[in-house]
Amino acid sequence: GEDVEQSLFLSVREGDSSVINCTYTDSSSTYLYWYKQEPGAGLQLLTYIFSNMDMKQDQRLTVLLNKKDKHLSLRIADTQTGDSAIYFCAESMNYGGSQGNLIFGKGTKLSVKP
Amino acid sequence: KAGVTQTPRYLIKTRGQQVTLSCSPISGHRSVSWYQQTPGQGLQFLFEYFSETQRNKGNFPGRFSGRQFSNSRSEMNVSTLELGDSALYLCASSRDRGSSGANVLTFGAGSRLTVL
């Protein structure tokens, strides 16, 4: 079945790099996503990666995808206190017309200490 | 450009009542999806609407229903509320990607439902 797993908590010091890991089970996933949720807010898309890519970099964010191991990671360089939030990994399948059905992990709460 | 707007933001109901939540998507977005977020189960997909038709449905009982109007606005309804329905209900909109392309969902801030 479809399942996305993440560790629940991560604590880092300001200025360090954060690495949030995710594993997924469905090998037919076409896209994998990282979303961020701040308190009292909805989810904000950070970045996504197509399944035939290994890496994607976007400013302070680096996404690594190991399709063989079904492992996805998000690295945040020079982590700031404003990065404190819950980060969700998600996968989507190509159902030929269905585009809303993302499967989310339970989220990793990132705490950044000054 | 206005984002996804959900109303109401907060509401309190009692068991057995019913509730209707509203979602206005980003202008030009024709697909609307609904998710339920709870501390225990995380984010769970409820349903997706496109051009007034339900295109996909999650594993929720029939008490949960939705619809989409010709202007792409969507509503979801929960009847005979149970305590376990207390959750943050998130709506997301997107352009239609067809059979390929990333599902770039833009989420609203959510409607927080408390059932007493």
Tens of pLDDT along B57-107?
A: 999 999 999 999 999 999 999 999 999 999 999 999 998 765 567 778 999
Q: Tell me what pLDDT residue A11 has.
A: 97
Please answer yes or no on whether B48 and A94 come within 8 Å at the CB atom: no
- Strands of chain B (E only): list them: 5-7, 10-13, 19-24, 31-38, 42-50, 53-57, 64-68, 74-78, 87-94, 106-107, 111-115
Select from B94, B108, B110 the Cβ nearest to the Cβ of A99. Answer: B94
Cβ-based contacts of B92 with chain A (< 8 Å): 42-43, 100
Q: Tell me what pLDDT residue A100 has.
A: 56
C-beta of residue A61 within 8 angstroms of C-beta of residue A46: yes
C-beta of residue B22 within 8 angstroms of C-beta of residue B73: yes
pLDDT digit string, tens, across residues B9-44: 999 999 999 999 999 999 999 999 999 999 989 999
Separation of alpha carbons A62 and A19, rounded Å: 9
Please answer yes or no on whether A42 and B4 come within 8 Å at the CB atom: yes
Separation of alpha carbons B97 and A45, rounded Å: 16
If pLDDT is split at 50, 70 and 90, which confidence band does A14 have?
A: very high
* DSSP three-state, residue B83: helix
Please answer yes or no on whether B42 and A42 come within 8 Å at the CB atom: no
Please answer yes or no on whether B33 and A94 come within 8 Å at the CB atom: no
Cβ-based contacts of A41 with chain B (< 8 Å): 109-110
